[in-house]
Amino acid sequence: MECRTALEHSRALKGKEYSSVELTRALLEHSQSCADLNAFITLTSEQALKQASHADRLIAKGEGGPLTGIPLVHKDLFCTKDVRTTCGSRILDNFISPYDATLVERLQQAGMVMLGKANMDEFAMGSSTENSYYGPTRNPWNHERVPGGSSGGSAAVVAARLAPVATGTDTGGSIRQPAALCGLSGIKPSYGRVSRYGMVAFASSLDQGGIMALTSEDCAYVLQAMSGFDEKDSTSINQPVPDYANSLSDSIAGKAVGLPKEFFTDGVDEEVAEAIRESISVLEGLGARMVEIDLPNSAAGIPCYYVLAPAEASSNLARFDGVRYGHRTFEYTDIIEMYEATRSEGFGPEVKRRLLIGAYVLSIGYFEAYYVKAQKLRRLIADDFSRAFEKCDVIVGPTTPTTAFPIGLKTDDPVQMYLNDVFTNSANLAGLPAMSIPAGFDRQGLPIGLHLIGKYLDETTILNVAHQYQLNTDWHQRIPEGYA
């Protein structure tokens, strides 16, 4: 029962094969037995069973939609009313949100059942979920490996079949990278497609909420429910949301697939490169047409991102000072000492590193040299994509240059850690939709991800291409040993 996709569960619930309460209880018990993954920060068992009971009543009356009664887990960056929202940080360890994020509210209205809150890199700053105050999450495919980050807890939850769906956030690859390392489908929609209200900000011009699931089909249904304009979010786009599921079965014959030479470099592990080449062959077999394209400024995505994101973070995280909410130091003589001690105790090393970088690039004498130049470079990266999409409908390549690496391997080398997002962060800089889907395994049995980037507000095409690929491959059906 636990190993089904969200839509398979939906059909079983409507067919009275089992109830949402039975499914929810089984998944909660499964989650407790898998505590060694450290994928959860909070389990909301009592609330989940109440929501499941309500869903069963709707189903019994023939009401509700395709997601009614389906369990999910939220990344602990989304505010959840009367439930702890920690952002993986000591400074918010005991923060209880007084309201729901819009994304949380919409999925609850769709009838989904919240099992709990997933572990994550502190304030979404990281690529491995090793920066959490609550300790690292482990990859279900190999417990000595990272699950990716910052949404690594969400990825581990779905990969281990502790829930069929989990939300995540993506600032530079934090949905797609863990989806790739854990063998999942994960989509980051266009900037503005999903409301950011109630999603604790890291870098406001880059952050976007999204979803991880077992299939692109599940992603389509859940993304449909969470998307749409929100007047409470000034960055929300007032555009109609397409019926993503309606286009999944469309043929991709004749679709132009862009292959950027910059994504097929010597820095990509040979086993990853071979899996991507085989995936391209599958798409060609479905009638897609391969087109060579150039993204000449994509290599500058990492330095551009690591100027802009820390700059925005230094502003967004200024609110965590011990005055209004969250952790406050116990011993201080004046308010300045209280600020300093609270933030020193409350933030971890990676958050402090990025806040210092952000303050530096925004300071007098360096603003023009770093921040302004990075903004100009961001425009060049976006322009590269605009030109590329004149030739193609979707861009593909590897999601990550390697498979999941050992826990602790890169914690002392931040630059090597940052390079894990070399293929993903340019989509955030340009505000484009992108997703990762399973595309094979290396010799150590670790998953490999295929990366798809679409035109702005065209999630439909990448979901369609991903679904057609998954109809002709079985990588997404593989389950880590011990979790079937």
| 233 HSE (CA, 13 A, CB side) | 27
216 is an active site residue: no
3-state secondary structure of 476: helix
Residue by residue, DSSP assigns 195-224 as --TTB--SSTTT-EEEEEESSHHHHHHHHH
Which stretches does DSSP call E strand in 261-402?
Answer: 289-293, 394-398
Sort strands 434-441 and 185-188 into parallel, antiparallel or unpaired.
Answer: antiparallel
CA distance 395 to 391: 10
45 is an active site residue: no
3-state secondary structure of 398: strand
Contacts of 257 (CB under 8 A, 6+ apart): 280, 283, 288, 289, 290, 291, 392, 393, 394, 395, 396, 465
Which among 465, 425, 37 has a CA at the least distance from the CA of 217? 465
Structure-token pair, residue 57: 């009543």
| 56 HSE (CA, 13 A, CB side) | 15
Catalytic residue among 75, 188, 410, 455: 75
In this structure, what are the phi and psi dihedrals at residue 86, rounded to the nearest 5 degrees?
Answer: -100, -20
CA distance 440 to 215: 14
127 is an active site residue: no
Strand-pairing partners, residue 290, are 257
| % helix, strand, coil for the chain, step of 5 | 40, 15, 45
Structure-token pair, residue 177: 């990278």
Which stretches does DSSP call E strand in 345-461?
Answer: 394-398, 434-441, 447-454
In this structure, what are the phi and psi dihedrals at residue 467, rounded to the nearest 5 degrees?
Answer: -65, -45
The length of the chain is: 484
Structure-token pair, residue 199: 């999603």
Catalytic residue among 20, 89, 150, 279: 150
The verdict on whether omega for the bond into residue 298 sits within 30 degrees of 0, i.e. cis, is no
Catalytic residue among 89, 132, 174, 216: 174
Sort strands 447-454 and 434-441 into parallel, antiparallel or unpaired.
Answer: antiparallel
C-beta neighbour count of 133 within 10 angstroms: 19
Active centre residues (catalytic)? 75, 150, 174
